[in-house]
Chains A and B, each alone.
Chain A
Amino acid sequence: MSATKRQKLAQPWVLLLITCVIVTTLVLIFPRKSSFESPTYLARPDVLSIAYLRVVVRFWPDDHEARLLLAHQLFTLGYLEEAHETLTPLIKLRGTHATRARLMALDISLSQFRTGNDHGNDDHTALQHALNQALEAVIMDHLSVTDLQRLAKLSLELGQPGLATTLYTRLADTDTAHRPAWLAEAARWALATRQPAQASHLYEQATDTAINTKDALTYALLSLDALRAANQEASALQRVRVYLQRFAHSPEGIRELLPRALALALAMKEPLLARNWGRQLLAYTPSSAEAVARQLNLELAARDLPAALQLAQRMTALRSDDPRQHLQLAQIAEWAGHPTIALSEWLWLARHDPGNNALDRAVLLGRGLHDNQAIIEMLTLRAHTKGLKHNEIIELVNLYEHIGEPEQATSFLRQHVTNTPRDRQAWELLAEVQERHNNLADAIEVWHEIERRFGLTVAASTQQAKLMWRLNQPDKALAVLRNISHRASVKDIAYWQLLGELAWRQESSADILLAYRTLWQNQTPDMLVAERLMIASRDQGNTEEVLTTATTAWAHFRHPRLLLSALDLAVQTAHWEDATRLVTLAEQEPPLFASSQNYWLLRARLANHDKNPQQARSAYQQVLSINPGNSAARAGLLWHFIDNPTDAGKEKVDLAHYLARWQDEAATDETLWSAYAAGLHALDRLEEALPWYERQAHATPRNTAWLLSYADALDQANRKDAAWRLRQHAQTLGGVPKDRPLPPLPPAAMAVHTKTSIVAHLEWRAHNIGTLDITQNNVGVAINPGHTGLEFHVSLRDLDAHPQQLSLTNKNSELDVAVSATLHSPQGQTHLLLGINQRDDHDLPYAKLTHRHTVPTGLSGSRLSAQTSLSINELSEESTALRVGGARDRLATTLFANLTQREYFSATLSGQHYHERKGETLGNGYTTDMEIGTRLRLGTPEWRIRVQGSWSKNRLRNDLPPALAATLPSGADINTVLPDHYAALGAGTTLQRDEPGALMTTLPTSTMTHSYIADAWVGWLWPAQHFAYNLRLGLGTSLFGRDELSLNAVHASSLGGVPGQAWQGLTLRYNRRFD
């Protein structure tokens, strides 16, 4: 209420005066106020006191004390309304009294409220309101601690925690001694009023003001909690940092704060902060698995993998049996880039449970870490559990080898195939490993096992063969390959290659051809294949294939060797068109062939064939420009000059030039001999040419064409006889052209030999006829043997026999001297032999005349000849007795016919007169011999087979002449000497190269070489009715060039139809020719 609103009633001065008077009066009469102060009657409220006080108040309304007292007493006595009214004037004021008034009014209201409550006053809300108003009114006043405490409690009582907060806050301000506690209390009630921020603030203040660390910590924690409750995490985070610093020296504080800090950091998504506070927190409980786990998560959240790894390791250590920890560690280790640690955990996990994927991880990491042992362990583990896939088997095997333990690989595979014998791939792998490990024999065994279990395959056999070859068993290897050739397809390249290679080494033509033909037709072209195919084809005579292959291969490889070998074959086999085509191909690449001697030689031969001498000459000269010493080119060039004379004679000049130039070397160069012979002949230097003819004849003694050329040269040199003999010899060799029949020997040559040849011989011979052994030494000389000439020989023989079988008194040695003459004519020859057989008992002269006549038939290869002979006192060896004591006279005619070039026939009819040496007749008889045969092989050697039959019939005297009987044991009769009839039929065969021992007499000097004969005959004899056979073996050879040493051996099981007359002999003869 304002003074300005009062009404003026009198003059001021009057008023002033009155007032003064009154006042003075009053002052004077009015009891002193002090007299009312604390009068004893005021001590207890009662009516009196109340009245009194009412008066006072009335009179001294401004006596606040009185009013207050009045109000108090009224209140005390339950005059609540009045008390309140009394106080009303004060309430609106300020100051202490007003405060007291308001406090009292509050009490009154409270009392009213309570009373109201107690009496179920319906106006509770109003009371409440009033009370609140009262309370609100008072709390702004300066209150004592006690009031404040009371009011605070009151406010709480009234359900006004907010006011309580305020009051406690004021308490904190007022009661500074207990400020932290009041602040905390205020905070508490602030929380109660959902004012966490305020509460936090209050706590913070409490914390700040708390003297006791413990309290401070408590408040701090509460403060933080309150902040969090206020959703002020950021602030809380800031505050917790502060608190952490503040309580840095209080482990307990830190320990209490850190969890909140951690939570705040997490809440604020500050993982690093959280990780760091977590680390600090973990330090307090290092062995706590939970703490470690928590921190592990923090570290992971902070992406600090190394730290997480460490924690994971700690966790694993703390819970070593917990697979989850190992798994976690393995994963973290992998994330952290510690595969080694991870591997060990995966290994643990795999060992713990092989079924999980840890094994795969371990293998994977093991590969990356080159931890072969780990992989091996894992794969082995898997092998023992669920088994390995093939690629894993391969890996395991490779690993064993990788660590240098192939034996382990083998052992593993052996075990594996034992357990799973149907795993073919494993078997093959085992074989491969053993091969790599050089256990080749074992590898072969495994391949055998594979074959046994799974059947034969080309690949397996190829592999086996390869291994066998490596073991240096090429024969076995080839056999293995051959065994499966029927199953090999063209796609089995390795098979064909190996077959080809092995066959090539083994020189197995058929296999070579098969393999390389297959390869050539089905494989990418290969030079080696082509060449070998060409060689094999050539060896098989398949010229067409060689040429085709060469042409194709040339297109691929352009290698000169291909064309050269084909060209060579084409020229050799007279495939001239092909040769021309090959040359055309070669001319596409001239540099490849420019320096090839062989190429130019072949070109020359082709040119010769094409009758292009200039080109041939150019080719030869090309060869000589490459190699001046090339013999073939020299010979070719010489032949060029020989064969291509011109009118100008330039060639002859060149020929003479080259012949002179190369003469020294030609003497030792067989290639040039024929050219020199022909060249010198062409130059009419015949005498110089003949030695070259002779050399060439020596070098190629069976080259009939050359022999005939030589013969022509001899003819021209007026050596008719030698020429004739050479031609005759050439004819015996066969192959003489039809247009070169043997010309008649020129009469002049028959009369006078242009050149005489003499052959001397020495002979030692031993043979037996039954029990008679005859050893003989011969010496003889033949002039122009085999031709018109003379021959002398002397033989000295020793005869020996068992005395009981044959008496040889005066008969045990013989000297035989003979001379013979031979006359050759174009139609045949005549031979006369005269001799004497001297013996102590009786000398026996003998003679024989033979004439042979040959008649050409005009048919190819056929010839007919007839021979007639007459012999007197001919020594006869039909039996031992006849040889020693008898002889025979014989007239015989033989017809011999060459039916064709191969078949022949002969028949002989003879009549004999047998007599004792002194002439006494033993008997007469006749004999027919027939033989028909064929030559299975013509030329040299000759091979004949024949059927032969003989029939003899004798008319014998009845007894033995005394002279003959004396030589025989008692009881011997005429049949001991001769059979009365005799027949033989059999078949024989002869393999013959010339005639050993007669070589010198039949062949010219230049052809002297070795000879042999092998003859066998088997047949049946009558009347003895037994089987018989003859064998003959003979060998002859030249020792020093113009001589012959021969050895002949003969064995006949029976002779002449006389029983027990086996015949066997050995003859050693040496002939020496002197021309």
Chain B
Amino acid sequence: MLLLLLLSCSPAHAKNPSVAFFYGQSTPLDLLVQFDQVVVQPEHVDDPAALKKGGTEVFAYLSVGEAEPFRSGYNDLDKRWFLGTNHGWGSDIVDLTQPGWREYLLEKRIATLWAKGYRGFFLDTLDSYLAVIKNPAAQAAQTHALAELIRTMHQRFPGIRLLFNRGFEILPEVADLAVGVVAESLFHGWSPVDKRYVPVSEQDRAWLTNRLQEARDHYHLPVTVVDYLPPQQRDLARQTARQIADLGFTPWIANPGLDYMGVGAIEVVPRRVLLLYDGQEQGLAYSAVHRFLALPLEHLGYAVDYRDVRNTLPEHVLTGRYAGIATWLRDDELPESKRYRHWLLKQIDEGMKIAIFGHPGFSLDKTFLARLGLAPVLTLPRAPLKITHADDLMGFETQPTLQNQTLSLWYAVEPDVRPHLSITAANSVRIDPVITAPWGGMALNPYVLDTGFADRRHWIINPFMFLQQALQLPTIPAPDLTTENGQRLLMAHIDGDGFPSRAEIPGTPFAAQIVLDEILKVYLFPTTISIIEGETGPAGLYPALSPQLETIAREIFRLPLVEIASHSYSHPFQWHKPQNNTMKDSEYHFNIPGYVFDLSREIKGSVEYINTRLAPPGKTVRVFLWSGDALPDKDALAMTQQLGLANLNGGNTVMTTEHSSLTQAYPAARPVDGLLQVYAPITNENIYTNLWHSSFYGYRNVLDTFHLTDTPRRLKPISIYYHFYSGSKPAAIKALHEVYQWARDQETLPIWISEYSTRVEDFERLTLARRLDGHWQIRGLGALRTLRLAPEMGWPDLAHSRGVAGVRDLPQGRYVSLSGKSSALLSLTPQPPTTPYLQQANATVLYWQPEEPSSDQPSQTSIQLRLQGHVPIHVAIAATRIAAGAACRIIWHGGGLDGHLRDAAWHFSFPVTDTGEARLVCH
């Protein structure tokens, strides 16, 4: 704590911008936005605007004193300009007095980048000439020329911002034209000749420290120090960063290629995990990594990327960009196993943590096993086998039972390999199928999942614990998709199927009419409702009924709490036809006479139909709900994106008391070639009713799912999801009533599907970083406004945090409410807040800004706020310390509201769904 305090007082933290250098390909723009300034190789960043948009200033690398052979235009350079060669990097040291070189730099290099949007330039190799020119007079000429060049840059490109790499010689002349100075190797350097990391001598460090202090103190330039350490020495990198920061400089510790996310004034905490699957098995949607690992990782706050191991695997350094790698393969028969084996070893060597589930994918040889701290079992185990060790990581949902099939035969030999499950055979052979180790961990079949009745699976291992231990995941403030302002999110949406169905009740009205009358008009929740054009429209299956059906649809869409969605034109059963299929086109969707599948007709056409014929003035379709297998391909997703629609459906999260396994829960989304399909948080009544074949009351069991996805971990929001055909069965209607009534009694924050979809996208995009003072920096925020803290992380320190509105401590976690800004700073403290804060609300915070206490009323706390929701707003303001006689009041345009103190919080109930500009005053 003292250290954090000291760090927070150091000058570097106080005023120096955070700086990152990244020259590698595949630039992680999402992570770099955490920094105030970023230096990139412009060839690797096509559009710097993406970074600028996040508030990050971008500097393009520019070699001033050396010509790099790999740059375009190098061959056109006059070789007479070269003074010598930098053997370390293979570049040519240039005579800076050469007008041609200057012309090249200004008009070929800078002008080109300027046109691309670059306004900042990191000027490297400013002092390279010193390596080849020893004559003081000649050196002075070069210095002068360099200074002149800098000035010319400013003249030629007004507003240009220059960051010098060293260039101490020219500071006296042009310091005022620089925005900062950078120097390399203060503590740890890199020898390009020897290709190795080298410590910096005390003498060199002293010399450089003096130069840098001079730049900082005399020329008032912020100073950044870049040191080099191998990726796997991240702890040392952190330590070095603190050392540099203590000197008052901004640190950046990375590898010499500067192609990995190093450690700087802030350390980006990678919250993405790379999940590898075998694309030949069943595709991503059905892959084990997606089905079983993504959700636990999401709950831990981590987002995932998927790669097919049969495709090219990322070759760049993943350390710093990924929190870990997890694989789950179903056999050991990858065709190019050697390549994969090599890749895995490389990752382990670079310090990435790997969690291997199921099967490694190839036969592990002794060498590989030895690298993992394992040894093969050379003697076949003889029955009977016996479990001789199982720790608390095992038996999560079911206890391991002895099985011989597909058992991997190896055991832990290194002391730092920790077996969580050991099996010993009659012939004393020991097998360790579940282990964690410094490099990661393995949980291998058949001791990962137990498969029971009807292929129902249960976790044998605790996936949360295993992932945390194997990948050594730090506990982070977890972005949360389930809760907002202390209340569980609630949404409802209807797929259009069965709109024209006749209700099996006296009078047999249309099912849609029943849903309208009995549900939508009764339960005033925001609901996203779709129709299938092929069912309601005149160009569909029931043209004769269309007028009646459209009338009902119009009435539904006119309801103020209804958000309009499309469920396609012909209800495709599969959005991506498998290859070599033999089914007719018409078997893939409703058999509308004369219709042949057309993606545009399905999406764009159906949306236009609704907008022009059914939607009331001022409302249009906002969401596209996938039909059938709900596995859209890239083209389909792109089309919804192009139309500005949120998309949803897919995923079949269903947990019942009979089968309550976490394996039944799906992650929030499925990425498809850079686009995102958002899954329905909890599946629909079709699944609860045996695919609408029996037990039509079955949807009431969704309450089990709501409960099981809430405790002990809150994994999902409340999501009421059904089809119009639920209106056709009395049992289903009754079930809907039960579900709606239950939902009405919960503390929830109701939102539309489009709003949830945006939160999911934010979850994917959001990045975290840890400042040297320990504060968490969150960027990429949008609609997502909740972070969940593990209790051991403490409480938000409201005084030192920014963009934090409050917190609510629930058994599932400590939910921090953010105030709706695009970034936030979260400072943590062991004590709960004492000043008033938002404990819970059923509406979204649009604005939350505490006011400075006035001198005349120091005991008064005032907060400017605005909340907006879909139902009359209820807000609870809490404070740990409530003095006797204290009171809170909200002043808004509707008048004043006095808070009612209950359960240590002031409760305010608004008669409206938007507070407008309001002010909370607590005395």
Chain A residues close to B by CB (< 8 Å): 340, 369-372, 401-406, 436-438, 440, 466, 469-472, 474, 505-507, 627, 629, 665, 668-670
Residues of B within 8 A of A629 (CB): 335-338
A505-B452 contact in complex given A370-B506, A371-B506, A405-B734, C-beta closer than 8 Å: yes
Which residues on the B side are within 8 Å of A627 (C-beta)? 335
Contacts of B188 in A (CB 8 A): none
B732's closest neighbor in chain A, by CB?
A404
Is the Cβ of A669 less than 8 Å from the Cβ of B365?
Answer: yes
Q: Which of B529-584 contact A (CB under 8 A)?
A: none
Flag if A436 contacts B694 (CB, 8 Å). Answer: yes
In angstroms, Cα B171 to Cα A474, docked, is: 79
| Residues of B655-679 whose CB lies within 8 A of A | 656-658
**A438 pairs with B701, CB closer than 8 A:** yes
Name the residue of chain A whose CB is nearest to the CB of B452. A472
CA distance A506 to B401 in the complex (A): 9
Q: What are 14 A-B pairs with beta-carbon distances under 8 A?
A: A370-B504, A401-B697, A403-B730, A403-B731, A470-B453, A470-B454, A470-B658, A472-B398, A472-B453, A474-B452, A505-B452, A507-B404, A668-B365, A668-B367
Question: Are the C-beta atoms of B337 and A404 separated by less than 8 Å?
Answer: no
Q: Is the CB of B367 within 8 A of A405?
A: no
Q: Are the CB atoms of A472 and B731 closer together than 8 Å?
A: no
Interface flag for B735 (CB, 8 Å): yes
- Whether, in the assembled complex, B405 has its beta carbon less than 8 Å from a beta carbon of chain A, the answer is yes
Closest A-chain residue to B735, C-beta based? A404
B695 contacts A401, C-beta separation under 8 Å: yes
Contact residue among B335, B452, B506, B700 (Cβ-Cβ distance under 8 Å from A369): B506
B365 surroundings in chain A (CB, below 8 A): 668-670
Which residue from A403, A440, A474 sits with its C-beta under 8 Å from B734?
Answer: A403
Shortest Cβ distance from A1010 into B: residue: B428
8 Å CB contact of B696 from A369, A370, A404, A438: A404
The complex places the Cα of A931 from the Cα of B806 at a distance, in Å, of: 87
Say yes or no for B451: interface residue by CB 8 A criterion: yes
From residue B734, how far is it (CB to closest CB) to chain A in Å? 3
> Could you say which residues of chain B place their CB within 8 Å of the CB of A505?
451-452
Do residues A466 and B697 form an inter-chain contact, with CB atoms below 8 A? no
B contacts, CB < 8 Å to A? 335-338, 365-368, 398, 401, 403-405, 451-454, 456, 458, 503-506, 508, 656-658, 694-697, 700-701, 729-735
Closest A residue to B458 by CB, please name it: A472
B458 to chain A: which residues have CB within 8 Å? Answer: 472
> Shortest Cβ distance from B399 into chain A, in angstroms?
10
Interface residues of chain B: helix, strand, loop or mixed (majority): loop
In the assembled complex, how far is the CB of residue B688 from the closest CB belonging to chain A, in whole angstroms?
10
Query: A472-B398, A472-B458, A474-B452 are contacts. A404–B505 as well, Cβ < 8 Å?
Result: no
**A438 CB contacts on chain B under 8 angstroms:** 656-658, 701
Which of B405, B505, B731, B732 is the most central at the interface, judged by chain A CB atoms within 10 Å of its CB? Answer: B731
Write out the residue numbers on chain B whose beta carbons fall within 8 Å of the beta carbon of A471. Answer: 658
A506 to B735, CA, bound (A): 38
**How far, in whole Å, are A402 and B503 apart by their CA atoms in the complex?**
12
Cβ of B738 to closest chain A Cβ, rounded Å: 8
Bound: A822/B188 CA distance, A: 61
The residue among A369, A406, A471, A472 with the most chain B CB atoms within 10 A of its own CB is A472
A402 touches B696 (CB 8 A): yes
Q: What is the CB-to-nearest-CB distance from B16 to chain A, in angstroms, rounded to a whole number?
A: 49
A contact residues around B398 at 8 Å (CB): 472
Docked pose: A968 CA to B367 CA in angstroms:
61
A401 touches B731 (CB 8 A): yes
In chain A, what residue has the closest Cβ to B504? A370
| Complex-state Cα separation, A403 to B503, whole angstroms | 12
Could you say which residues of chain A place their CB within 8 Å of the CB of B733? 404
Which of A372, A436, A469 is close to B452, meaning CB atoms less than 8 Å apart? A469
A689 → B minimal CB distance (Å): 21
Q: Which residues of A contact B657 (CB under 8 A)?
A: 438
Residues of B within 8 A of A401 (CB): 695-697, 731
Which residues in A have their C-beta under 8 angstroms from that of B368? Answer: 668
Give the distance to chain A from B343, nearest Cβ to Cβ, in Å.
Answer: 15
**Residues of chain A with a CB closer than 8 A to B696's CB:** 401-402, 404
Q: How far is the CA of A505 from the CA of B729 in the complex (A)?
A: 38
Complex CA–CA separation, A466 to B452 (angstroms):
11
Interface pair B697/A405, CB less than 8 Å apart: yes
A401 to B690, CA, bound (A): 14
| A-B complex: 7 closest residue pairs judged by Cβ atoms | A404-B734, A404-B731, A404-B697, A469-B453, A403-B730, A370-B504, A470-B453
How distant is the Cα of A668 from the Cα of B452 in the complex, in angstroms? 39
Docked CA distance A436–B689 (Å): 10
- List the A side residues contacting B735 at CB < 8 Å: 404
17 extra A-B contacts, CB within 8 A, seeds A438-B701, A665-B338: A340-B506, A401-B731, A404-B730, A404-B732, A404-B733, A404-B735, A406-B697, A436-B694, A438-B658, A470-B453, A470-B454, A474-B452, A507-B405, A627-B335, A629-B338, A668-B365, A670-B366
- For A402, give its contact among B336, B405, B700, B729 (CB under 8 Å): B729
Which chain B residues lie closer than 8 Å to A668 at the CB level?
A: 365-368
Q: A402-B731, A404-B730 are in contact. Are A466 and B506 (CB under 8 A)?
A: no
- In the bound complex, how far is the Cα of B450 from the Cα of A472, in angstroms? 10
CB nearest neighbor in A for B729: A402
Q: Which residues of B contact A506 (CB under 8 A)?
A: 401
Contacts of B403 in A (CB 8 A): 507
Determine how close the nearest CB of chain B comes to the CB of A434; give it in whole angstroms.
Answer: 12
**Complex Cα distance A629/B342, Å?**
14
Residue numbers in B under 8 Å from A670 (CB-CB): 365-366
Q: Provide the residues of chain B in CB contact with A466, threshold 8 Å.
A: 453
B398, B504, B656: most-surrounded residue (chain A CB, <10 A)? B504
Residue among A404, A436, A629, A670 having the largest count of chain B Cβ atoms under 10 Å: A404
**Bound state CA distance, A507 and B404, in angstroms?**
8
Contacts of B451 in A (CB 8 A): 505
User: Taking the nearest CB of chain B, how far is it from the CB of A692, in angstroms?
Assistant: 15
Select the residue from B458, B506, B657 with max chain A CB neighbours within 10 A: B506
Separation in Å of the A255 CB from the closest CB of chain B?
Answer: 43
What is the distance, in angstroms, from A19's C-beta to the closest C-beta of chain B?
A: 115
Complex Cα gap A880–B336 (Å): 69
Residues from chain B with a CB closer than 8 A to the CB of A437 are 695
Within the complex, the shortest CB–CB distance from A435 to chain B, in Å, comes to 10
Residue of B nearest to A629 (CB): B338
CA distance A437 to B338 in the complex (A): 52
Q: In the complex, A506 Cα to B508 Cα: how many Å?
A: 50
Residues of B within 8 A of A340 (CB): 506
Q: What residues of chain B lie closer than 8 Å to A469, measured between beta carbons?
A: 452-453
B428 to chain A, nearest CB (A): 9
B508 and A370 within 8 A (CB) = yes
**A406 closest partner in B (C-beta):** B697
Q: Which residue of A lies closest to B690 (CB)?
A: A436
Instruction: Let me know if B508 and A440 touch, CB within 8 A.
Output: no
Q: How distant is the Cα of A405 from the Cα of B700 in the complex, in angstroms? A: 11
Q: Tell me the smallest distance from the CB of B819 to a CB of chain A, in Å.
A: 44
Instruction: Compute how far the CA of A369 lies from the CA of B504 in the bound complex, rounded to whole angstroms.
Output: 8
What's the least CB distance linking B371 to chain A, in Å? 11
Partner of A440, one of B404, B658, B700, B701: B658
Measured between C-beta atoms, what is the minimum distance from B831 to chain A in Å?
44
Q: How far is the CA of A403 from the CA of B453 in the complex (A)?
A: 29
Closest to B502 in A: A370
Kindly provide the distance from the CB of B515 to the nearest chain A CB, expressed in whole angstroms. 15
In the complex, chain A residues whose CB is within 8 Å of the CB of B700: 404
Smallest Cβ-Cβ distance to B368: which chain A residue: A668
How far is B369's CA from A668's CA once the two chains are assembled, in angstroms?
11
B398 CB to nearest chain A CB (Å): 7
A474 to B401, CA, bound (A): 11
In the assembled complex, the Cα of A527 lies from the Cα of B506 at a distance in Å of 48
Residues on the A chain within 8 Å of B338, using CB: 629, 665
* CB atoms of A370 and B505 under 8 A apart: yes
CA distance A337 to B701 in the complex (A): 40
A596 to B499, CA, bound (A): 50
Q: Which residues of B contact A474 (CB under 8 A)?
A: 452-453
What residue of chain B has the Cβ atom nearest to residue A340's Cβ?
B506
Question: B453 — which chain A residues lie within 8 A by C-beta?
Answer: 466, 469-470, 472, 474
